[in-house]
Structure 1
Amino acid sequence: NTGHNFDDTKRYVDQVAWLSAADKKKIFEDNAKKVYGRLGKRLAERPSAKQ
């Protein structure tokens, strides 16, 4: 057991030195918002997003 879930790919993406913060935002955030069209609005409604 490695202590990591089999689909935990974030740790690999985080280790890629040539990916900029903007690239990582595209991978982790923007892709999810494209796939789940209502996600952006729901996240914006959360109290933690308004701080």
Structure 2
Amino acid sequence: MFKFTATIEIIGINPFVFVPDDILNSIFEQAGKSKGPSGVLPAAPTFTFENYFAQT
């Protein structure tokens, strides 16, 4: 499993993140591909919000 931190960007209504090159290359290598269809790589992200909410 790969872990990285990224800012969620929006194009229209579609959220996306830029994946670091070393992680992206490893994913493509494991998948036996050099790129996804239309440059899209489906993913199942996990979000953590511990840094965004102040404790009371």
Under a length normalisation based on structure 2, what TM-score does the superposition of the two structures give? Answer: 0.29
Greater RCO (Cα-Cα under 8 Å, separation 6 or more): 2
Which structure has more helix as a fraction of its residues? 1
